């Protein structure tokens, strides 16, 4: 049932590579990048101050690493009023270590921080699906916070042909 | 779908559940989820009107809490997993930005083998 685009090991290697690249990369950063120096170079660009603020509030300065999150969305959404979303993870849901929150962010929506799902180990695992509105073609971010303080992200770019936000 | 009965909600769980099963809980509630960005036929703005909080309790304990905006589609659906480790009521309470609360429950009972 869990559809991961990449294995946890691969995701881990990728996040290591991203972290290393981040250390090597230098040069002037834009204001949004400064706010969000925590994300890796392969991650979708932070498009504006609002999204930078949201990511900063969620991460609290911790690195946002790519991996462990499967954000399943259509490549093309023909009706932006109803776009299906499925969020899953292979991270544990035990009393000692669990996913305590998942944040859904749609970069170019009027209200970018679309939803927050606060969870407990009683759910047994993470598989959440719902339907959302999208104004236009953009990146969607699922940012996951664990009880031990790790922050993981999955991204999905959705082409929107009919504006669902007015 | 269900658009004429504001706040009418349904929760669906599997017919046969055994202790320890990981089950899927499907839910839907009728609500317009107006964003506040649209106008009506007379050109007047339609004010924002949406479910902003969903609280899920199982056997009296809170197991999940969803904070929503009007970016969730009309007649919101949400599906999530639950570890069925006790018999009891699974209750969801949806609260909108005008303060109305809508409640629905389903009994989680174990099938005798």
Asked whether residue B73 is domain-assigned, the answer is yes
CA dist., res. A140 & res. A77, Å (int): 12
Q: Cβ atoms within 10 A of the Cβ of B70, count?
A: 24
Secondary structure (H, E, C), A30-65: CHHHHHCCCCCCCCCCCCCHHHHHHHHHHHCCCCCE
Mind listing the domains of chain A with CATH numbers?
8-160 (2.60.40.2470)
Determine the pLDDT at residue B111. 85
Q: Percent of chain B, pLDDT > 90?
A: 89
The model's confidence at residue B65, banded by pLDDT at 50, 70 and 90, is very high
Comparing CB atoms, the residue among B64, B71, B77 nearest residue A118 is B64
- Closest residue, chain A, to B69 (C-alpha): A114
pLDDT per position as a tens digit, A39-73: 666 789 999 999 999 999 999 999 999 999 999 99
pLDDT at position A41: 67
Res A8: pLDDT: 54
Ranges of residues in chain A whose predicted pLDDT is under 50: 1-5, 16-27, 29, 31, 33-35, 37
Q: Half-sphere exposure of B52 toward its Cβ, with a 13 Å CA cutoff?
A: 9
Chain B residues with CB-CB distance to A130 below 8 A: 72-73, 76-79
CB contact under 8 A, B72 and A115: yes
How far A38 CA lies from chain B's nearest CA (Å)? Answer: 25
| Residue A158 and residue A109 in contact, taking contact as beta carbons nearer than 8 Å | no
Q: Which of B45, B62, B71 to mutate to test the interface with A (most CBs of A within 10 A)?
A: B71
Tally of domains within chain B: 1
Output the pLDDT for position A9: 54
Asked, for residue B1, whether it belongs to a domain, the answer is no
Per-residue pLDDT, averaged over B30-51, amounts to 94
Query: Alpha-carbon torsion A75, A76, A80, A81, what sign?
Result: negative
B113 within a domain of the structure (yes/no): no
Q: Which tens digits make up the pLDDT trace of B15-28?
A: 999 999 999 999 99
Q: What are B74-91's pLDDT values in tens digits?
A: 999 999 999 999 999 999
- Rounded Cα gap, residues A60 and A35, in angstroms: 11
Beta strand A151-160 with A76-77 is parallel
User: How many inter-chain contacts (A to B, CB under 8 Å) are there?
Assistant: 96
**What is the strand order of the sheet A127-132 is part of?**
A69-72, A83-89, A127-132, B77-84, B21-29, B9-12
Beta-carbon count within 10 A of A41 CB: 12
CA distance readout (Å), A79 to A158, A164, B35, B78: 11, 7, 16, 19
B39 inside domain: yes
Give the range of the structural domain holding residue B95, as residue numbers without chain letter: 9-108
Query: CA-to-CA distance for B76 and A107, rounded, in angstroms?
Result: 21
Task: Output the six-digit token pair for A26.
Answer: 């230098």
Mean pLDDT of chain B: 94
CATH code of the domain covering residue B66: 2.60.40.10
Q: What's the CA gap between B79 and A131, in Å, rounded?
A: 10
Cα A113 to Cα A142: distance, rounded to the nearest angstrom: 10
Most confident of A31-40, A148-157, B4-13, B35-44: A148-157
Please indicate, yes or no, if residue B70 is contained in any of the structural domains: yes
């Amino acid at each position: 049932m869990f559809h991961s685009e990449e294995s946890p090991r691969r995701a881990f290697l990728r996040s290591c590579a991203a972290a290393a690249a981040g250390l090597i990369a230098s040069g002037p950063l834009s204001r949004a990048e400064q706010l969000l120096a925590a994300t890796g170079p392969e991650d979708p660009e932070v498009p504006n101050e609002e999204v930078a603020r949201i990511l900063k509030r969620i991460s609290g300065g911790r690195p946002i690493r790519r991996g462990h999150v499967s954000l399943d969305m259509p490549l093309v959404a023909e009706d932006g009023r109803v776009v299906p979303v499925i969020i899953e993870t292979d991270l544990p849901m035990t009393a000692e270590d669990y996913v305590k929150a998942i944040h859904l962010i749609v970069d170019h929506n009027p209200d970018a921080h679309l939803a927050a799902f606060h969870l407990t180990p009683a759910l047994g695992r993470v598989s959440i699906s719902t339907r959302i509105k999208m104004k236009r073609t953009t990146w969607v971010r699922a940012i996951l916070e664990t009880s031990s303080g790790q922050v993981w992200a999955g991204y999905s770019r959705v082409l929107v042909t009919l504006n669902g936000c007015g | 779908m269900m658009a004429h009965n504001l706040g009418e909600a349904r929760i669906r769980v599997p017919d046969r559940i055994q202790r320890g099963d990981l089950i899927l809980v499907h839910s839907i509630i009728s609500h317009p989820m107006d964003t506040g960005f649209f106008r009506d036929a007379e050109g007047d703005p339609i004010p924002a009107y949406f479910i902003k909080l969903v609280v899920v309790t199982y056997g009296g304990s809170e197991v999940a809490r969803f904070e929503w905006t009007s970016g969730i589609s009309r007649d919101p659906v949400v599906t999530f997993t639950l570890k069925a480790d006790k018999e009891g009521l699974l209750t969801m309470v949806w609260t909108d930005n005008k303060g109305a609360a809508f409640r629905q429950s389903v009994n989680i009972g174990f099938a005798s083998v």
